[in-house]
């Protein structure tokens, strides 16, 4: 099995070819950090234009790298949402054109399913069901993953996502864009006990998240002029981790038959977050799996892999060429709305 994956939902343009043996045969990724940095965040219009310019030559390049022709592919998988709609449309429409021209099946992939299944690309021993912490720029959820396409959401955020909290903290502290890696680096020089910060939702009987209050407390601490930037970064990171661990403890109670704790999404690249989760898993007698950092942040290998997983389903059928790009696309459509939660 050989699948081409295309990713364009945020600010990474990416293409990859993955095979059924979990080999990433070729991959290219172009980050738009330089274009968005002057604005301190991703500008949707700039992102869409950059995807439109870069994607076609990038697909050509990965096919050449892999020495593969379009007709050798078993599917073309592209992110069809959720994400910034202009960028998603660039990737999806490109995939449709390639599929049409080569008569290869199209697989419209949910970007979140790409993140959710990425640990199975990284580790073939990971079996269903597993408990998943999905922490990215736009999402912060705890899910039970029963199979490909079968997700039950146990928790979500009532305001900001965890990656968003890292990004806003970086902005407040003047650490630049993208924020997550910058906060992680700065935190290494600081004292995580130096700044008293709140742990929103900790102690609540339901496992939901909230990070808006933590971000406001970071702003107040910084404006007070009493603390070093590194100490605020370290204290913020520790407070965020404490929240995640407390929320997971509640959620894991409802998933006692899951033998593995899995983390995915951009924030899963954070070494302190990974270490805390590993410790929690050990306490619960669970195995812990985190993909390598490069598979945590946005990439096309996880989209190709989600395509491979979909191809392997008993009832697989290719997606139609008129399928729409979706700005919103929950993994668990039956999840109850949570007060204040957008996702
Ligand atoms: P979504 O997947 O929800 O649509 P996205 O695709 O923009 O959002 P990802 O690329 O999965 O998100 O993750 C990006 C987020 O991860 C950003 O918020 C970024 O700050 C955060 N992030 C990346 N690396 C780190 C790190 N080392 N520490 C903390 N956060 C990080
Ligand atoms: Mg990015
Ligand atoms: Fe993502």
Q: Is 270 annotated as a binding residue?
A: yes
ipTM of the complex: 0.99
Mean pLDDT rounded to a whole number for the chain: 97
Q: Atom 29 (ligand 1): residue with closest C-alpha?
A: 180
Instruction: Give the pLDDT mean for 298-302.
Output: 99
E-strand ranges in 54-180 read 75-81, 106-110, 130-135, 140-147, 150-155
Alpha carbon 32 to its chain's center: 17
Q: Please give the Cα distance from 311 to 104 (Å, whole number).
A: 12
pLDDT at 342 over 60: no
What would the pLDDT profile of 95-141 be if each residue is shown by its tens digit? 999 999 999 999 999 999 999 999 999 999 999 999 999 999 999 99
Q: Please give the Cα distance from 196 to 307 (Å, whole number).
A: 45
Specify the pLDDT at position 168: 97
* 83 CA → ligand 3 middle, Å: 8
Q: What is the pTM of this model?
A: 0.97
What would the pLDDT profile of 61-85 be if each residue is shown by its tens digit? 999 999 999 999 999 999 999 999 9
pLDDT interval class at 336 (50, 70, 90): confident
What would the pLDDT profile of 253-277 be if each residue is shown by its tens digit? 999 999 999 999 999 999 999 999 9
Task: Verify whether ligand 1 is closer than 6 Å to residue 190 (CB atom).
Answer: no
pLDDT at 6 over 60: yes
Among 36-45, 165-174, 215-224, whose mean pLDDT is lowest? 36-45
Task: Verify whether ligand 1 is closer than 6 Å to residue 319 (CB atom).
Answer: no
The ligand 1 atom nearest the CA atom of 265 = 11
Count CB-CB contacts under 10 A for residue 205: 5
């Amino acid at each position: 099995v050989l699948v081409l994956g295309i990713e364009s939902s945020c600010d990474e343009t990416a293409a990859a070819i993955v095979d059924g043996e979990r080999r990433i045969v070729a991959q290219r990724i172009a980050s738009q950090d330089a274009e968005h940095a002057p604005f301190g965040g991703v500008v949707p219009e700039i992102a869409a234009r950059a995807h439109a310019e870069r994607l076609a030559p990038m697909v050509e390049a990965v096919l050449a790298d892999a020495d593969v022709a379009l007709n050798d592919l078993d599917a073309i998988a592209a992110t069809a949402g959720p994400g910034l709609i202009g960028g998603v449309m660039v990737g999806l429409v490109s995939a449709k054109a390639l599929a049409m021209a080569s008569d290869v099946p199209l697989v419209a992939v949910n970007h979140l399913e790409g993140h959710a299944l990425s640990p199975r690309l990284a580790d073939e021993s990971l079996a269903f069901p597993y408990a998943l912490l999905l922490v990215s720029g736009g999402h912060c959820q705890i899910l039970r993953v029963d199979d490909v396409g079968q997700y039950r959401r146990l928790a979500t955020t009532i305001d900001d996502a965890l990656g968003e909290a890292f990004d806003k903290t970086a902005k407040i502290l003047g650490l630049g864009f993208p924020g997550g890696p910058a906060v992680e680096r700065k935190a290494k020089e600081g004292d995580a006990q130096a700044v008293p910060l709140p742990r929103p939702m900790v102690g609540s009987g339901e496992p939901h998240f909230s990070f808006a209050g933590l971000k406001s407390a970071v702003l107040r601490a910084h404006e007070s002029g009493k603390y070093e930037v590194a100490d605020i970064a370290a204290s913020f990171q520790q407070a965020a981790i404490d929240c995640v661990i407390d929320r997971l403890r509640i959620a894991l109670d409802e998933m006692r038959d899951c033998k593995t704790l899995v983390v995915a999404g951009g924030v899963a690249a954070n070494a302190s977050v990974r270490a805390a989760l590993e410790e929690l898993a050990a306490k619960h007698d669970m195995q812990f799996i985190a993909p390598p950092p490069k598979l945590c942040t946005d990439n096309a290998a996880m989209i190709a892999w989600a395509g491979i997983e979909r191809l392997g389903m008993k009832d697989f059928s290719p997606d139609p060429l008129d399928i729409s790009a979706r700005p919103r696309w929950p993994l668990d459509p039956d999840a109850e709305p949570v007060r204040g939660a957008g996702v």
